Chain A
Protein backbone atom coordinates (compact mmCIF):
# COMPACT_ATOMS: atom_id res chain seq x y z
CA UNK A 1 0.00 0.00 0.00
CA UNK A 2 1.15 3.53 -0.81
CA UNK A 3 0.56 6.53 1.42
CA UNK A 4 1.24 10.27 1.24
CA UNK A 5 2.25 11.29 4.73
CA UNK A 6 3.60 14.68 5.79
CA UNK A 7 4.71 15.36 2.24
CA UNK A 8 6.51 12.03 1.80
CA UNK A 9 5.47 8.95 -0.12
CA UNK A 10 5.62 5.90 2.12
CA UNK A 11 5.10 2.26 1.15
CA UNK A 12 4.04 -0.41 3.62
CA UNK A 13 3.20 -4.05 3.27
CA UNK A 14 0.62 -4.54 6.00
CA UNK A 15 -2.27 -6.82 6.91
CA UNK A 16 -5.57 -5.61 5.45
CA UNK A 17 -6.97 -5.26 9.00
CA UNK A 18 -4.43 -2.57 9.96
CA UNK A 19 -5.88 0.72 11.13
CA UNK A 20 -4.39 3.99 9.97
CA UNK A 21 -3.31 4.56 13.58
CA UNK A 22 -1.43 1.27 13.80
CA UNK A 23 0.09 1.84 10.38
CA UNK A 24 1.54 5.17 11.56
CA UNK A 25 2.74 3.99 14.94
CA UNK A 26 3.82 0.40 14.32
CA UNK A 27 4.88 0.34 10.70
CA UNK A 28 6.02 3.83 9.72
CA UNK A 29 7.80 4.87 12.93
CA UNK A 30 5.53 7.88 13.45
CA UNK A 31 4.60 7.43 17.12
CA UNK A 32 3.52 11.05 17.64
CA UNK A 33 -0.12 10.10 17.04
CA UNK A 34 -1.42 8.50 20.24
CA UNK A 35 -3.71 5.54 20.91
CA UNK A 36 -6.20 6.15 23.70
CA UNK A 37 -9.53 4.33 23.51
CA UNK A 38 -9.13 2.79 20.02
CA UNK A 39 -12.94 3.25 19.67
CA UNK A 40 -13.40 6.78 18.39
CA UNK A 41 -14.28 8.21 21.78
CA UNK A 42 -11.21 10.19 22.92
CA UNK A 43 -9.63 11.95 19.93
CA UNK A 44 -6.01 11.11 20.91
CA UNK A 45 -5.48 9.55 17.47
CA UNK A 46 -6.69 12.58 15.47
CA UNK A 47 -4.83 13.16 12.20
CA UNK A 48 -5.61 15.27 9.13
CA UNK A 49 -6.67 13.78 5.81
CA UNK A 50 -6.77 16.32 2.98
CA UNK A 51 -6.88 18.92 5.77
CA UNK A 52 -9.87 17.39 7.57
CA UNK A 53 -9.63 15.84 11.03
CA UNK A 54 -10.49 12.16 11.50
CA UNK A 55 -9.94 9.50 14.15
CA UNK A 56 -7.21 7.27 12.76
CA UNK A 57 -8.14 4.42 15.13
CA UNK A 58 -11.45 3.75 13.32
CA UNK A 59 -9.89 4.21 9.88
CA UNK A 60 -8.79 1.16 7.92
CA UNK A 61 -5.44 2.16 6.42
CA UNK A 62 -6.37 0.70 3.04
CA UNK A 63 -9.12 3.30 2.67
CA UNK A 64 -6.58 6.14 2.93
CA UNK A 65 -4.14 5.19 0.20
CA UNK A 66 -3.35 8.11 -2.10
CA UNK A 67 -4.83 10.72 0.30
CA UNK A 68 -2.79 13.51 1.93
CA UNK A 69 -2.25 12.54 5.55
CA UNK A 70 -0.76 14.95 8.09
CA UNK A 71 0.33 13.82 11.56
CA UNK A 72 1.80 15.83 14.41
CA UNK A 73 5.26 15.08 12.97
CA UNK A 74 4.26 17.10 9.91
CA UNK A 75 3.12 20.13 11.87
CA UNK A 76 6.13 21.44 13.76
CA UNK A 77 9.53 20.35 15.06
CA UNK A 78 11.25 20.76 18.39
CA UNK A 79 13.35 23.59 16.98
CA UNK A 80 10.55 25.15 15.02
CA UNK A 81 7.25 24.88 16.83
CA UNK A 82 4.08 25.61 14.95
CA UNK A 83 2.29 28.75 16.26
CA UNK A 84 -0.34 26.68 18.06
CA UNK A 85 2.30 24.44 19.65
CA UNK A 86 4.10 27.53 20.96
CA UNK A 87 0.82 28.74 22.48
CA UNK A 88 0.25 25.35 24.13
CA UNK A 89 3.60 25.83 25.87
CA UNK A 90 2.86 29.43 26.79
CA UNK A 91 -0.64 28.72 28.16
CA UNK A 92 0.04 25.40 29.95
CA UNK A 93 -2.13 23.53 27.47
CA UNK A 94 -0.86 20.13 28.57
CA UNK A 95 0.22 18.15 31.59
CA UNK A 96 1.13 14.59 30.60
CA UNK A 97 1.02 15.56 26.95
CA UNK A 98 -0.67 12.36 25.82
CA UNK A 99 -3.69 14.03 24.27
CA UNK A 100 -1.68 16.98 22.90
CA UNK A 101 -0.86 15.74 19.36
CA UNK A 102 -4.55 14.99 18.80
CA UNK A 103 -5.60 18.32 20.30
CA UNK A 104 -3.20 20.20 18.02
CA UNK A 105 -4.26 18.41 14.84
CA UNK A 106 -7.89 18.77 15.81
CA UNK A 107 -7.64 22.50 16.56
CA UNK A 108 -5.90 23.24 13.26
CA UNK A 109 -8.73 21.60 11.32
CA UNK A 110 -11.31 23.17 13.63
CA UNK A 111 -10.04 26.66 12.79
CA UNK A 112 -10.26 25.86 9.08
CA UNK A 113 -13.83 24.54 9.50
CA UNK A 114 -14.90 27.73 11.25
CA UNK A 115 -13.15 29.83 8.62
CA UNK A 116 -15.16 28.22 5.82
CA UNK A 117 -18.39 28.71 7.79
CA UNK A 118 -19.20 25.19 9.04
CA UNK A 119 -21.71 25.62 11.90
CA UNK A 120 -21.68 23.56 15.10
CA UNK A 121 -24.53 22.29 17.26
CA UNK A 122 -24.33 25.45 19.42
CA UNK A 123 -24.23 27.94 16.54
CA UNK A 124 -27.42 30.01 17.07
CA UNK A 125 -28.11 30.74 13.38
CA UNK A 126 -27.11 27.86 11.10
CA UNK A 127 -27.52 30.05 8.02
CA UNK A 128 -25.08 32.71 9.26
CA UNK A 129 -22.15 33.40 6.91
CA UNK A 130 -19.45 33.86 9.53
CA UNK A 131 -18.70 31.96 12.71
CA UNK A 132 -17.56 33.77 15.86
CA UNK A 133 -15.36 31.37 17.79
CA UNK A 134 -16.52 32.23 21.30
CA UNK A 135 -15.98 30.07 24.36
CA UNK A 136 -19.07 27.88 23.78
CA UNK A 137 -18.20 27.31 20.13
CA UNK A 138 -14.62 26.31 20.98
CA UNK A 139 -15.75 23.89 23.67
CA UNK A 140 -18.34 22.25 21.45
CA UNK A 141 -16.01 22.05 18.44
CA UNK A 142 -13.17 20.54 20.49
CA UNK A 143 -15.43 18.10 22.36
CA UNK A 144 -14.15 15.16 20.31
CA UNK A 145 -10.82 15.46 22.14
CA UNK A 146 -10.66 14.38 25.75
CA UNK A 147 -7.85 15.31 28.13
CA UNK A 148 -7.64 13.10 31.20
CA UNK A 149 -5.40 15.59 33.00
CA UNK A 150 -8.11 18.22 32.61
CA UNK A 151 -5.85 20.83 30.99
CA UNK A 152 -8.87 22.21 29.14
CA UNK A 153 -8.54 25.82 30.25
CA UNK A 154 -4.98 26.01 28.97
CA UNK A 155 -5.95 24.23 25.75
CA UNK A 156 -8.80 26.68 25.10
CA UNK A 157 -6.55 29.66 25.91
CA UNK A 158 -3.87 28.40 23.52
CA UNK A 159 -6.42 27.90 20.72
CA UNK A 160 -7.96 31.32 21.35
CA UNK A 161 -4.57 33.00 21.35
CA UNK A 162 -3.63 31.33 18.06
CA UNK A 163 -6.82 31.44 16.04
CA UNK A 164 -9.23 33.92 17.61
CA UNK A 165 -7.04 36.83 18.61
CA UNK A 166 -5.19 36.51 15.33
CA UNK A 167 -8.48 36.92 13.45
CA UNK A 168 -9.77 39.72 15.68
Chain B
Protein backbone atom coordinates (compact mmCIF):
# COMPACT_ATOMS: atom_id res chain seq x y z
CA UNK B 1 0.00 0.00 0.00
CA UNK B 2 1.28 3.46 -0.79
CA UNK B 3 1.15 6.07 1.92
CA UNK B 4 -1.60 8.67 2.14
CA UNK B 5 -2.84 11.45 4.35
CA UNK B 6 -6.06 10.94 6.26
CA UNK B 7 -8.79 13.43 7.07
CA UNK B 8 -12.14 13.09 8.77
CA UNK B 9 -14.90 15.28 7.35
CA UNK B 10 -17.44 16.86 9.70
CA UNK B 11 -20.04 17.40 6.98
CA UNK B 12 -20.58 17.06 3.25
CA UNK B 13 -19.37 20.58 2.43
CA UNK B 14 -16.12 19.97 4.28
CA UNK B 15 -15.62 16.61 2.58
CA UNK B 16 -16.12 18.19 -0.85
CA UNK B 17 -13.85 21.13 -0.03
CA UNK B 18 -11.12 18.73 1.14
CA UNK B 19 -11.50 16.66 -2.01
CA UNK B 20 -11.26 19.70 -4.29
CA UNK B 21 -8.22 21.14 -2.51
CA UNK B 22 -6.05 18.05 -3.03
CA UNK B 23 -5.27 15.70 -5.86
CA UNK B 24 -5.97 11.97 -6.03
CA UNK B 25 -8.38 11.90 -3.14
CA UNK B 26 -10.86 9.15 -2.32
CA UNK B 27 -13.77 9.18 0.07
CA UNK B 28 -13.53 6.33 2.55
CA UNK B 29 -16.56 4.35 3.70
CA UNK B 30 -16.08 1.07 5.55
CA UNK B 31 -12.94 0.42 3.53
CA UNK B 32 -13.95 -3.15 2.73
CA UNK B 33 -13.21 -2.69 -0.96
CA UNK B 34 -10.93 0.34 -1.06
CA UNK B 35 -8.43 -0.93 1.55
CA UNK B 36 -8.14 -4.22 -0.33
CA UNK B 37 -7.55 -2.41 -3.65
CA UNK B 38 -4.99 -0.11 -2.03
CA UNK B 39 -3.09 -3.14 -0.73
CA UNK B 40 -2.92 -4.46 -4.28
CA UNK B 41 -1.85 -0.95 -5.38
CA UNK B 42 -4.72 -0.91 -7.87
CA UNK B 43 -5.96 2.20 -6.04
CA UNK B 44 -3.28 4.69 -4.98
CA UNK B 45 -5.03 7.68 -3.39
CA UNK B 46 -2.84 10.39 -1.88
CA UNK B 47 -5.60 11.47 0.53
CA UNK B 48 -8.41 9.51 2.17
CA UNK B 49 -11.41 11.46 3.43
CA UNK B 50 -13.37 9.46 6.00
CA UNK B 51 -17.07 10.03 5.32
CA UNK B 52 -18.47 7.41 7.73
CA UNK B 53 -19.39 10.17 10.19
CA UNK B 54 -21.77 11.83 7.69
CA UNK B 55 -25.37 11.02 6.83
CA UNK B 56 -26.14 8.09 9.13
CA UNK B 57 -29.91 8.46 9.09
CA UNK B 58 -32.80 6.67 7.42
CA UNK B 59 -35.77 9.05 7.16
CA UNK B 60 -39.30 8.44 5.88
CA UNK B 61 -40.56 11.55 4.11
CA UNK B 62 -44.13 12.87 4.18
CA UNK B 63 -44.76 11.55 0.64
CA UNK B 64 -43.73 8.03 1.71
CA UNK B 65 -40.29 8.13 0.08
CA UNK B 66 -37.37 6.86 2.16
CA UNK B 67 -34.10 8.81 2.26
CA UNK B 68 -31.09 6.71 3.26
CA UNK B 69 -27.88 8.50 4.25
CA UNK B 70 -24.78 7.39 2.35
CA UNK B 71 -22.96 6.39 5.53
CA UNK B 72 -25.71 4.06 6.77
CA UNK B 73 -24.19 0.60 7.10
CA UNK B 74 -25.50 -2.27 5.01
CA UNK B 75 -26.62 -4.02 8.20
CA UNK B 76 -28.54 -1.00 9.48
CA UNK B 77 -30.35 -0.64 6.16
CA UNK B 78 -31.28 -4.33 5.88
CA UNK B 79 -32.45 -4.28 9.51
CA UNK B 80 -34.62 -1.16 9.30
CA UNK B 81 -38.25 -2.11 9.99
CA UNK B 82 -39.68 0.10 7.25
CA UNK B 83 -37.34 -1.46 4.68
CA UNK B 84 -37.97 -5.02 5.90
CA UNK B 85 -41.73 -4.66 5.66
CA UNK B 86 -42.23 -2.34 2.66
CA UNK B 87 -39.13 -3.09 0.54
CA UNK B 88 -38.22 -6.72 1.40
CA UNK B 89 -36.31 -7.05 -1.90
CA UNK B 90 -33.78 -4.51 -0.63
CA UNK B 91 -33.29 -6.16 2.76
CA UNK B 92 -32.90 -9.57 1.20
CA UNK B 93 -30.48 -8.36 -1.47
CA UNK B 94 -28.22 -6.79 1.14
CA UNK B 95 -28.40 -9.89 3.35
CA UNK B 96 -27.40 -11.99 0.33
CA UNK B 97 -24.12 -10.09 0.01
CA UNK B 98 -20.77 -10.69 1.71
CA UNK B 99 -20.78 -11.74 5.40
CA UNK B 100 -22.24 -10.21 8.56
CA UNK B 101 -18.81 -8.82 9.46
CA UNK B 102 -18.47 -7.03 6.12
CA UNK B 103 -22.07 -5.79 6.10
CA UNK B 104 -21.43 -4.19 9.50
CA UNK B 105 -18.56 -2.18 7.99
CA UNK B 106 -19.85 -1.54 4.47
CA UNK B 107 -21.74 1.68 3.77
CA UNK B 108 -24.44 2.45 1.23
CA UNK B 109 -22.17 4.91 -0.63
CA UNK B 110 -19.29 2.44 -0.76
CA UNK B 111 -21.52 -0.39 -1.92
CA UNK B 112 -22.57 1.62 -4.99
CA UNK B 113 -18.95 2.24 -5.92
CA UNK B 114 -17.44 -1.16 -5.15
CA UNK B 115 -15.40 -2.37 -8.10
CA UNK B 116 -15.68 -5.49 -10.21
CA UNK B 117 -14.42 -8.85 -8.99
CA UNK B 118 -12.98 -9.73 -12.43
CA UNK B 119 -9.82 -11.72 -11.56
CA UNK B 120 -7.78 -10.01 -14.25
CA UNK B 121 -8.70 -6.60 -12.87
CA UNK B 122 -7.28 -7.72 -9.52
CA UNK B 123 -4.12 -9.20 -11.10
CA UNK B 124 -2.11 -6.02 -11.16
CA UNK B 125 1.17 -7.86 -11.77
CA UNK B 126 0.44 -9.95 -14.81
CA UNK B 127 -2.89 -9.31 -16.54
CA UNK B 128 -3.95 -6.86 -19.24
CA UNK B 129 -7.03 -4.93 -18.20
CA UNK B 130 -8.61 -1.90 -19.86
CA UNK B 131 -10.43 -0.97 -16.70
CA UNK B 132 -7.26 -0.81 -14.63
CA UNK B 133 -4.87 0.35 -17.34
CA UNK B 134 -6.87 1.90 -20.22
CA UNK B 135 -5.68 0.66 -23.62
CA UNK B 136 -3.79 -2.37 -22.28
CA UNK B 137 -6.32 -4.94 -23.51
CA UNK B 138 -8.64 -7.38 -21.77
CA UNK B 139 -7.39 -10.79 -20.73
CA UNK B 140 -10.87 -11.88 -19.65
CA UNK B 141 -12.38 -11.72 -23.14
CA UNK B 142 -10.68 -14.90 -24.29
CA UNK B 143 -9.63 -16.11 -20.86
CA UNK B 144 -11.36 -17.64 -17.86
CA UNK B 145 -14.65 -15.83 -18.03
CA UNK B 146 -17.17 -17.99 -16.25
CA UNK B 147 -18.23 -15.11 -13.98
CA UNK B 148 -18.32 -12.46 -16.70
CA UNK B 149 -21.04 -10.56 -18.57
CA UNK B 150 -23.58 -11.86 -21.08
CA UNK B 151 -25.46 -8.58 -21.63
CA UNK B 152 -24.29 -5.10 -22.62
CA UNK B 153 -20.57 -5.96 -22.73
CA UNK B 154 -18.13 -4.44 -25.23
CA UNK B 155 -14.92 -5.71 -26.82
CA UNK B 156 -13.09 -3.49 -24.32
CA UNK B 157 -14.49 -5.09 -21.15
CA UNK B 158 -16.74 -8.01 -20.18
CA UNK B 159 -16.73 -7.45 -16.40
CA UNK B 160 -19.84 -7.55 -14.22
CA UNK B 161 -20.89 -5.24 -11.41
CA UNK B 162 -20.65 -7.25 -8.18
CA UNK B 163 -23.22 -5.54 -5.95
CA UNK B 164 -26.40 -7.25 -4.79
CA UNK B 165 -27.83 -4.14 -3.14
CA UNK B 166 -27.62 -2.15 -6.38
CA UNK B 167 -29.74 -4.73 -8.23
CA UNK B 168 -32.58 -4.17 -5.77
CA UNK B 169 -32.10 -0.39 -5.95
CA UNK B 170 -32.35 -0.57 -9.72
CA UNK B 171 -35.63 -2.50 -9.60
CA UNK B 172 -36.96 0.02 -7.06
CA UNK B 173 -36.16 3.07 -9.26
CA UNK B 174 -33.99 4.51 -6.50
CA UNK B 175 -32.49 7.97 -6.92
CA UNK B 176 -28.87 8.73 -6.04
CA UNK B 177 -28.32 12.10 -4.35
CA UNK B 178 -24.86 13.56 -4.85
CA UNK B 179 -23.13 16.79 -3.97
CA UNK B 180 -19.93 18.23 -5.34
CA UNK B 181 -17.91 21.23 -6.41
CA UNK B 182 -20.78 22.28 -8.71
CA UNK B 183 -23.54 21.74 -6.15
CA UNK B 184 -26.08 19.03 -5.45
CA UNK B 185 -27.88 16.95 -8.08
CA UNK B 186 -29.71 13.64 -8.42
CA UNK B 187 -29.08 10.69 -10.73
CA UNK B 188 -31.57 7.85 -11.30
CA UNK B 189 -30.05 4.57 -10.10
CA UNK B 190 -30.73 2.95 -13.49
CA UNK B 191 -28.44 5.59 -15.12
CA UNK B 192 -25.85 5.77 -12.33
CA UNK B 193 -23.59 2.95 -13.57
CA UNK B 194 -22.35 2.91 -17.17
CA UNK B 195 -21.97 0.15 -19.72
CA UNK B 196 -18.30 -0.37 -20.62
CA UNK B 197 -18.33 0.74 -24.29
CA UNK B 198 -14.79 1.91 -25.07
CA UNK B 199 -14.16 3.43 -21.61
CA UNK B 200 -14.57 0.67 -19.02
CA UNK B 201 -12.44 2.69 -16.60
CA UNK B 202 -15.30 5.21 -16.29
CA UNK B 203 -17.84 3.25 -14.29
CA UNK B 204 -20.44 5.77 -13.11
CA UNK B 205 -21.91 9.17 -13.89
CA UNK B 206 -20.12 10.74 -10.90
CA UNK B 207 -17.88 13.70 -11.66
CA UNK B 208 -14.48 14.18 -10.00
CA UNK B 209 -14.88 15.09 -6.34
CA UNK B 210 -18.59 14.31 -6.20
CA UNK B 211 -19.82 12.74 -2.97
CA UNK B 212 -22.80 10.41 -2.68
CA UNK B 213 -24.92 11.89 0.10
CA UNK B 214 -28.06 9.73 0.08
CA UNK B 215 -30.22 7.21 -1.74
CA UNK B 216 -33.90 7.93 -2.14
CA UNK B 217 -36.47 5.15 -2.48
CA UNK B 218 -39.68 6.46 -4.01
CA UNK B 219 -42.86 5.22 -2.31
CA UNK B 220 -43.78 2.04 -4.21
CA UNK B 221 -46.68 -0.09 -3.07
CA UNK B 222 -45.58 -2.82 -5.48
CA UNK B 223 -42.40 -3.37 -3.42
CA UNK B 224 -44.40 -4.95 -0.61
CA UNK B 225 -44.51 -8.17 -2.65
CA UNK B 226 -40.88 -8.41 -3.69
CA UNK B 227 -37.87 -10.64 -3.23
CA UNK B 228 -34.25 -11.25 -4.20
CA UNK B 229 -32.95 -14.56 -5.46
CA UNK B 230 -29.21 -15.18 -5.82
CA UNK B 231 -27.61 -18.12 -7.62
CA UNK B 232 -23.98 -18.74 -6.71
CA UNK B 233 -21.38 -21.48 -6.51
CA UNK B 234 -21.92 -22.14 -2.82
CA UNK B 235 -24.90 -21.54 -0.55
CA UNK B 236 -23.60 -18.34 1.02
CA UNK B 237 -20.74 -15.86 1.12
CA UNK B 238 -20.07 -15.79 -2.63
CA UNK B 239 -20.76 -13.32 -5.43
CA UNK B 240 -23.72 -13.95 -7.72
CA UNK B 241 -23.49 -15.89 -10.95
CA UNK B 242 -26.98 -14.61 -11.67
CA UNK B 243 -29.38 -12.82 -9.37
CA UNK B 244 -32.90 -11.46 -9.70
CA UNK B 245 -34.62 -8.63 -7.83
CA UNK B 246 -38.35 -8.72 -8.51
CA UNK B 247 -41.60 -7.11 -7.41
CA UNK B 248 -45.01 -7.91 -8.83
CA UNK B 249 -48.63 -6.83 -8.49
CA UNK B 250 -51.19 -9.35 -9.69
CA UNK B 251 -54.91 -8.52 -9.91
CA UNK B 252 -57.39 -11.30 -10.72
CA UNK B 253 -54.65 -13.50 -12.09
CA UNK B 254 -53.32 -10.78 -14.42
CA UNK B 255 -50.03 -8.90 -14.02
CA UNK B 256 -50.94 -5.30 -13.19
CA UNK B 257 -47.36 -4.15 -12.66
CA UNK B 258 -43.92 -5.73 -12.37
CA UNK B 259 -40.34 -4.56 -11.67
CA UNK B 260 -37.35 -6.71 -12.36
CA UNK B 261 -33.56 -6.32 -12.42
CA UNK B 262 -30.70 -8.80 -12.88
CA UNK B 263 -27.31 -9.02 -11.20
CA UNK B 264 -24.19 -10.90 -12.26
CA UNK B 265 -24.91 -10.53 -15.96
CA UNK B 266 -23.69 -7.06 -16.98
CA UNK B 267 -21.35 -4.18 -16.23
CA UNK B 268 -24.21 -2.59 -14.30
CA UNK B 269 -27.36 -3.79 -12.53
CA UNK B 270 -29.49 -4.83 -15.51
CA UNK B 271 -33.01 -3.44 -15.44
CA UNK B 272 -35.16 -5.97 -17.31
CA UNK B 273 -37.37 -3.60 -19.31
CA UNK B 274 -38.38 -6.32 -21.77
CA UNK B 275 -39.74 -8.53 -19.02
CA UNK B 276 -41.67 -5.61 -17.57
CA UNK B 277 -43.11 -4.48 -20.90
CA UNK B 278 -44.14 -7.96 -22.02
CA UNK B 279 -45.74 -9.06 -18.76
CA UNK B 280 -48.09 -6.20 -17.92
CA UNK B 281 -51.62 -7.30 -18.85
CA UNK B 282 -50.59 -10.94 -19.25
CA UNK B 283 -51.79 -13.84 -17.08
CA UNK B 284 -49.43 -14.37 -14.14
CA UNK B 285 -48.37 -17.86 -15.20
CA UNK B 286 -45.04 -19.61 -15.33
CA UNK B 287 -45.41 -19.89 -19.12
CA UNK B 288 -45.80 -16.12 -19.49
CA UNK B 289 -42.83 -15.49 -17.18
CA UNK B 290 -40.73 -17.86 -19.26
CA UNK B 291 -41.64 -16.12 -22.54
CA UNK B 292 -40.74 -12.72 -21.06
CA UNK B 293 -37.44 -14.07 -19.71
CA UNK B 294 -36.56 -15.45 -23.14
CA UNK B 295 -37.16 -12.06 -24.73
CA UNK B 296 -34.95 -10.36 -22.16
CA UNK B 297 -32.07 -12.72 -22.88
CA UNK B 298 -32.53 -12.67 -26.67
CA UNK B 299 -29.52 -10.39 -27.17
CA UNK B 300 -27.26 -12.20 -24.70
CA UNK B 301 -23.77 -12.98 -26.01
CA UNK B 302 -21.96 -15.91 -24.37
CA UNK B 303 -18.20 -15.96 -23.83
CA UNK B 304 -16.08 -19.13 -23.77
CA UNK B 305 -17.05 -20.24 -20.25
CA UNK B 306 -20.31 -18.53 -19.37
CA UNK B 307 -22.97 -19.66 -21.87
CA UNK B 308 -24.66 -21.46 -18.96
CA UNK B 309 -25.64 -18.08 -17.54
CA UNK B 310 -28.14 -17.44 -20.32
CA UNK B 311 -30.39 -20.37 -19.46
CA UNK B 312 -29.68 -19.82 -15.76
CA UNK B 313 -30.92 -16.22 -16.03
CA UNK B 314 -34.09 -17.28 -17.91
CA UNK B 315 -34.92 -19.89 -15.31
CA UNK B 316 -34.12 -17.69 -12.35
CA UNK B 317 -36.35 -14.90 -13.69
CA UNK B 318 -39.29 -17.26 -14.23
CA UNK B 319 -38.84 -19.07 -10.92
CA UNK B 320 -38.48 -15.87 -8.89
CA UNK B 321 -41.67 -14.39 -10.35
CA UNK B 322 -43.56 -17.66 -9.91
CA UNK B 323 -42.54 -17.77 -6.24
CA UNK B 324 -43.96 -14.27 -5.70
CA UNK B 325 -47.37 -15.18 -7.12
CA UNK B 326 -49.53 -16.96 -4.56
Chain A residues near B (Cβ < 8 Å): 15-17, 19, 38-40, 43, 46, 49, 52-55, 58-60, 62-63, 106, 109-110, 113, 117-121, 123, 126-127, 139-141, 143-145
Contact = CB atoms under 8 A, between A and B. Distances in A.
Contact of A55 (B78, B91, B101): B101
A40 B91 contact: no
A63 B71 CA distance: 14
13 contacts: A17-B1, A40-B32, A49-B104, A52-B75, A54-B101, A55-B101, A58-B35, A58-B105, A59-B105, A118-B75, A126-B88, A127-B88, A144-B101
Contacts of A46: 101
Interface string B103-116: 01100000000000
B75 A58 contact: no
Most B CB within 10 A of own CB, among A15, A38, A120: A120
- Consensus secondary structure, chain A interface: loop
B47 to A, nearest CB: 11
Q: Name the interface size band of chain B.
A: 35 or more
A156 to B, nearest CB: 14
B6 interface: yes
Most B CB within 10 A of own CB, among A19, A40, A140, A141: A40
Contacts of B320: none
Nearest to B89: A126
Contacts, number: 100
A58 B99 CA distance: 13
B283 interface: no
B79 A62 contact: no
Contact of B101 (A43, A60, A126, A139): A43
Interface of B: 1, 3-6, 28, 30-32, 35-36, 39, 48, 50, 52, 75, 78-79, 81, 84-85, 88, 91-92, 95-96, 98-102, 104-105, 230, 235-237
B96 A127 contact: no
Nearest to A105: B101
Nearest to A57: B35
Nearest to A56: B101
B36 A121 contact: no
Nearest to A121: B95
A144 B237 contact: yes
Contacts of B35: 19, 58-60
Given A38-B39, A127-B85, 18 more contacts: A16-B5, A16-B6, A40-B32, A40-B101, A53-B100, A55-B105, A58-B30, A58-B31, A60-B31, A63-B52, A119-B78, A121-B236, A123-B95, A126-B85, A126-B92, A139-B235, A143-B99, A143-B237
